[in-house]
Amino acid sequence: MREAWENEEREKLLAEIVGIFGALPGLPPQENLADLWCLAGLISVADWIGSNESFFPCDRGLELEESREAAARALDQIHWRGGAVRHRTFGDLFGGYSAMPLQRALHEECQTPGLFIVEGPMGCGKTEAALWASHRLINSGANDGMYFALPTQVTSNRIHQRVAPFLRAALADAANLRLAHAASWLEDNQTWRLHPSDSNDLQASEHVREGRSWFASSKHAMLARFGVGTVDQALQGVVAVKHFFVRRFGLAGKVVILDEVHSYDVYTGTLICQLIEELLALRCSVIVLSATLTTARRQELIAAAGVQGARADSRAYPLVTVARADAPVIEIPVESPVSRELILRTTALSEEEILQECIERAEAGQHVLYLRNTVAEAQETCRKAKGAVRDTLVEVATLHSRFPFFRRQELEGCWLERLGKQRAEDGKGSLLIATQVVEQSVDIDLDFIVTDLAPTDMLLQRMGRLWRHERKDRRASQPEFWINVPTVDRHAPVGTLKKAFGRSGLVYAPYVLLRTAEVFNGRESMVLPSQIREVLEATYAGRADGAEPEPWSELRAEVEAEKDKLSQEAAAATRVLGRQSEDDNREHLTRRKGAPTRDVVLLKSCELLRRDLWRITTLNGETLEVGGNDWSLSAARAVHRNLVRAPLHTVPGQAMPLWLKLHTHGPTFWALVMDDGSLNFPEGEGPTGLAYDSMLGLHTRPGQLKPRYTQDEDEFDY
């Protein structure tokens, strides 16, 4: 009986929809479901907006015209209407500067949607080139919004500060500006009052929870007219996670900028190819920015645009490539920026030698960066540096992903300003010990850099932070870049070769590290950008059997087997039909798998006032009452500002209290930070060696826990 009633109501609803909007479109071909998924996303988002009691009070019904007026007001309040751009020159958009050759070349080609690949050195203006091209595509009506996808949370949080002035200059009505980025929901004034109509209806409660997770989280950037976020959020539009189609809807018709695409990561690289294919089907324009593509990787991206069999093998650098399914590939060599020479030192160095050099230079007033490949190594190095440096002469800090959000904001604001283009020349030196979070899309300018060995792509990115801007008063006489290359016997057994790279060999493939070391060993200098293409191709070019020692061949076979496996896993993750959707955890399915992590909320106190009501004081000093039944945006913000990610094996098992389950997405634990910095998990089972320090972040106290050096040690930061 109920089923018959539901079918009857569906028929009535369908007839009403046809009466308002006209006949429904026909079904798309089975092989092209882009429009169908976009429609599914539209329906879900419309339902979530319609469920917001601030816009549509549930205590009264609305006639059709009233509903339309309420919908218009709702779209205005969430800044989904407007957004038209004015005709503007490059100088109008970017503070009076003149466009450089790379920027002019891309702008000229961006008249209709397509795939645009921009290859150029670090600091050559690729970001402004992409924004100017986006402006033209939007102004012409080819696209109607923009999503800027970056590799890490640090870069996405910072790039919005460059995009916001561009939009203020570009928009016809700057009052409509609301650039959504990964952290914007923590700071805006919107309120989302979404409640299930029946608190006992589990399906309705879950539906409301999903709506909150989109409009009160970093996912909001996907739905905004103009958004900045991580590439992982975009990639989850093509893998089998919950509401992947909402992400597709959020990106449909926009200019999508994929920044810092490299050659090393096979798994994410496979997904990016799939993403490009899906975005072009959704009538997007895709702009890929990279300093470090090989010709083979560029060819894979072009194939994703539907251009099969076309060769695009130009060795020019910089280079703009345009690919459209119905046209020949266009390759445009661009005039190279002025070359600059970096002095290299590639040798095995002890940490003591490195720290001594870094401290001496910093105490002489230089700004120094020491890049470590794992969080644990960065923290340990920072401990040693802090104990050896003279505080009156040098500022010392570490920057990585294991800080709660509020502290990361403080550190990023301080250090990206201190080392930025307009850095203060107060005579005091700096020593920043950081992980991969500062190697890409971050405008910092160092006088001296030391780095752990990493693949060539990453080393080139790190070089891009050295002497980035012209300065008359540097305390360094020349740009020096040191690479700590372990001593390796070329003919040593496989196990010995792997062990030689230490933790870095768990982060990056030992074979690629061997090839990278081979390319850089003996080099005393590096000329940028003219030698970028040369070292990339030398690192990744295929080799005939017998061209290298047998142990190397074994490691190469491991890499190739891993590539095949990762490619298959990535392809499987994109098969959304006939597969159960999984939870959209931040790193789920979009990066190669490592050891799991767990989100932990750091508190100073937590007091049960009465059943289902707690008073909490967060680590950053906010005190508020949180309930287990009534969701609060202010509570959700407070909780997320104090979230930090920890390796799962360091966190004791515990049940999630109701207040935490209600205000977070996915499994989350909580802990009290004691006066001595140690973490106490009141509801946890078993001991923990975790501690928190405002300088080091979340760390394991020496000797407290047996370390597990697994693939979660690398700094993949979402």
User: What is 279-290 written as a DSSP string?
Assistant: HHHTT-EEEEEE
What is the C-alpha to C-alpha distance for residues 121 and 319, in angstroms, rounded to an integer?
10
Instruction: Evaluate if residue 440 carries a pLDDT over 90.
Output: no
Residues 36 and 28 sit within 8 Å (Cβ to Cβ): yes
Q: What is the pLDDT confidence band of residue 240, given thresholds at 50, 70 and 90?
A: confident
- How high is the mean pLDDT of the chain? 83
Q: What integer pLDDT is reported at residue 137 of this predicted model?
A: 96
Alpha-carbon separation of residue 163 from 287, 345, 419, 438, 440 (angstroms): 15, 37, 20, 19, 17
Q: H or E segment at 399?
A: strand 394-399
Q: What integer pLDDT is reported at residue 588 of this predicted model?
A: 44
Instruction: Give the Cβ contact number of residue 234 at 10 Å.
Output: 28
Q: Could you read off the pLDDT of 303-320 as tens digits, one per residue?
A: 989 887 677 788 899 999
Alpha-carbon separation of residue 669 from 212, 365, 446, 633, 652 (angstroms): 20, 43, 38, 19, 9
What is the C-alpha to C-alpha distance for residues 322 and 117, in angstroms, rounded to an integer?
6
**Ordered DSSP codes for 308-327:** -S-------SSEEEEE-TTS
Instruction: Evaluate if residue 277 carries a pLDDT over 80.
Output: yes
Overall average pLDDT of the 127-156 stretch: 87
Q: What is the pLDDT confidence band of residue 519, given thresholds at 50, 70 and 90?
A: very high
Instruction: Evaluate if residue 703 carries a pLDDT over 90.
Output: no
- Is the alpha carbon torsion for 430, 433, 439, 442 positive or negative? negative
Q: What is the pLDDT confidence band of residue 422, given thresholds at 50, 70 and 90?
A: confident
| Better pLDDT: 703 or 256 | 256
List % helix, strand, coil for the chain (3-state, nearest 5): 40, 20, 40
Q: What integer pLDDT is reported at residue 591 of this predicted model?
A: 46
- Provide the residue ranges of all domains of the chain, joining segments of one domain with +: 90-333, 340-528, 597-713
Q: What integer pLDDT is reported at residue 160 of this predicted model?
A: 73
Q: What integer pLDDT is reported at residue 28 of this predicted model?
A: 58
Q: List the one residue out of 623, 47, 110 whose CA is nearest residue 321.
A: 110
Overall average pLDDT of the 615-626 stretch: 94
Q: What integer pLDDT is reported at residue 614 of this predicted model?
A: 92
Q: What integer pLDDT is reported at residue 346 of this predicted model?
A: 96
**Residues sharing a CB contact under 8 Å with residue 10, sequence separation 6 or more, in sequence order:** none
Instruction: Evaluate if residue 109 carries a pLDDT over 70.
Output: yes
Q: What is the pLDDT confidence band of residue 409, given thresholds at 50, 70 and 90?
A: confident
Overall average pLDDT of the 416-420 stretch: 88
Q: What is the pLDDT confidence band of residue 399, given thresholds at 50, 70 and 90?
A: very high
CATH superfamily, domain 340-528, is P-loop containing nucleotide triphosphate hydrolases (3.40.50.300)
Q: What integer pLDDT is reported at residue 477 of this predicted model?
A: 93
Q: Hey, do 90-333 and 340-528 end up sharing a CATH topology, with the first three levels equal? A: yes
Q: What integer pLDDT is reported at residue 707 of this predicted model?
A: 46
Instruction: Evaluate if residue 491 carries a pLDDT over 70.
Output: yes
Overall average pLDDT of the 546-560 stretch: 90
Overall average pLDDT of the 3-7 stretch: 74
Overall average pLDDT of the 203-209 stretch: 55
Q: What integer pLDDT is reported at residue 19 of this predicted model?
A: 83
Instruction: Evaluate if residue 1 carries a pLDDT over 80.
Output: no
Overall average pLDDT of the 254-271 stretch: 81
Instruction: Name residue 434's beta-bridge partners.
Output: 371, 399
Q: What integer pLDDT is reported at residue 267 of this predicted model?
A: 64
Count of all residues that appear for the chain in the document: 718
Instruction: Evaluate if residue 7 carries a pLDDT over 50.
Output: yes
Instruction: Evaluate if residue 457 carries a pLDDT over 50.
Output: yes
Q: What is the pLDDT confidence band of residue 133, given thresholds at 50, 70 and 90?
A: very high
Q: What integer pLDDT is reported at residue 677 of this predicted model?
A: 93
Q: What integer pLDDT is reported at residue 238 of this predicted model?
A: 78
What is the C-alpha to C-alpha distance for residues 489 and 472, in angstroms, rounded to an integer?
43
Q: Which two tokens stand for residue 294?
A: 């090989």
506-520, 667-681, 696-710 — which is least confidently predicted?
696-710
Instruction: Evaluate if residue 130 carries a pLDDT over 90.
Output: yes
Instruction: Name residue 528's beta-bridge partners.
Output: 340
Residues 79 and 178 sit within 8 Å (Cβ to Cβ): yes
Instruction: Evaluate if residue 83 carries a pLDDT over 80.
Output: no
Q: What integer pLDDT is reported at residue 115 of this predicted model?
A: 97
Q: What integer pLDDT is reported at residue 210 of this predicted model?
A: 58
Instruction: Evaluate if residue 284 carries a pLDDT over 50.
Output: yes
| Better pLDDT: 642 or 85 | 642
Q: What integer pLDDT is reported at residue 261 of this predicted model?
A: 85
* Residue percentage of the chain with pLDDT more than 90: 42
Residues 249 and 41 sit within 8 Å (Cβ to Cβ): yes
Instruction: Evaluate if residue 194 carries a pLDDT over 60.
Output: no
**Beta strands of 212-339 (E only): which ranges?**
226-230, 255-258, 285-290, 319-323, 330-333
Q: What integer pLDDT is reported at residue 708 of this predicted model?
A: 46
Q: Could you read off the pLDDT of 11-68 as tens digits, one per residue?
A: 888 888 888 878 876 665 555 677 788 888 888 888 878 877 778 877 666 677 888 8
CATH superfamily, domain 90-333, is P-loop containing nucleotide triphosphate hydrolases (3.40.50.300)
**Beta strands of 507-635 (E only): which ranges?**
525-528, 597-610, 613-618, 623-627
pTM, full prediction: 0.85
Q: List the one residue out of 155, 161, 232, 230 whose CA is nearest residue 441.
A: 155
Q: What integer pLDDT is reported at residue 176 of this predicted model?
A: 53
Q: What is the pLDDT confidence band of residue 711, given thresholds at 50, 70 and 90?
A: very low
Residue for token pair 């955890």:
585
What is the C-alpha to C-alpha distance for residues 514 and 263, in angstroms, rounded to an integer?
16
Q: What is the pLDDT confidence band of residue 219, given thresholds at 50, 70 and 90?
A: low
